[in-house]
């Protein structure tokens, strides 16, 4: 499931942009496998291949921010988005991800907050603020879901 929300870039990436993302991924964490998929949404994914678990980040054009101001996530810069996806990899590996779909927004918020803590020297203050804004937005989305699912009894 894609971890970036609607409103992000959908224009095909140039060769230079593809290389910039790859360099950023490799620069932040040499362990995390990644692949560029031009027709795909950016996502950390786990798949099985020959009875082996393959964990990777597949990135597409939405790794870059969009032009709209629909939500905090649509404005999250490429480096912040990359840091977020890398943290999905580590949360999966460390068994700290929340796999319950009902908690997806909580998991996304925790992932953005973990990115701030994991990369304090690599992210600018602006990147950190964008990740914090993304986490707040995800918490608001969770509250909306929770209130719609479990309305208060009067």
CA atoms of 120 and 107, how far apart (whole Å): 20
Q: State the Cα–Cα distance between residues 8 and 65, nearest whole angstrom.
A: 5
Q: What does the pLDDT read at residue 3? A: 57
Report pTM: 0.90
DSSP string of 91-102, one letter each residue: HHHTT-S---GG
Token pair of 92 as six digits? 């999966």
Backbone angles phi, psi at 37, to 5 degrees: -130, 100
Strand order in the sheet with 52-59: 34-36, 52-59, 43-49
Tens of pLDDT, residue by residue, the chain (154 residues): 555 556 788 889 999 999 999 999 999 999 999 999 999 999 999 999 999 999 999 999 999 988 766 666 778 899 999 999 999 999 999 999 999 999 999 999 999 999 999 999 999 999 999 999 999 999 999 999 999 998 887 6
Longest pairwise C-alpha distance within the chain = 58
Phi/psi zone of residue 94: left (φ > 0), alpha (ψ -120 to 50 degrees), beta? alpha
**What is the model's pLDDT at position 10?**
87
pLDDT (0 to 100) of residue 9: 83
**Tokens found for residue 149:** 């699912």
Residue 20 has a pLDDT of 98
């Amino acid at each position: 499931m894609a971890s970036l929300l609607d409103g992000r870039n959908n224009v095909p990436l140039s060769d230079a942009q593809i290389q910039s993302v790859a360099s950023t991924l490799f620069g932040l964490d040499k362990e995390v496998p990644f692949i560029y998929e031009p027709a795909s949404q950016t996502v950390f994914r786990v798949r099985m291949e020959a009875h082996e678990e393959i964990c990777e980040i597949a990135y597409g054009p939405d790794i870059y921010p969009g032009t709209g101001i629909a939500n905090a996530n649509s404005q999250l810069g490429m480096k912040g988005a990359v840091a977020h996806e890398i943290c999905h990899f580590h949360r999966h590996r460390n068994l700290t991800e929340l796999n319950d779909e009902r908690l997806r927004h909580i998991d996304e918020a925790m992932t953005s907050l973990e990115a701030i803590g994991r990369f304090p020297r690599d992210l600018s203050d602006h990147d950190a603020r964008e990740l914090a804004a993304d986490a707040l937005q995800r918490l608001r989305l969770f509250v909306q879901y929770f209130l719609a699912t479990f309305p208060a009894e009067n």
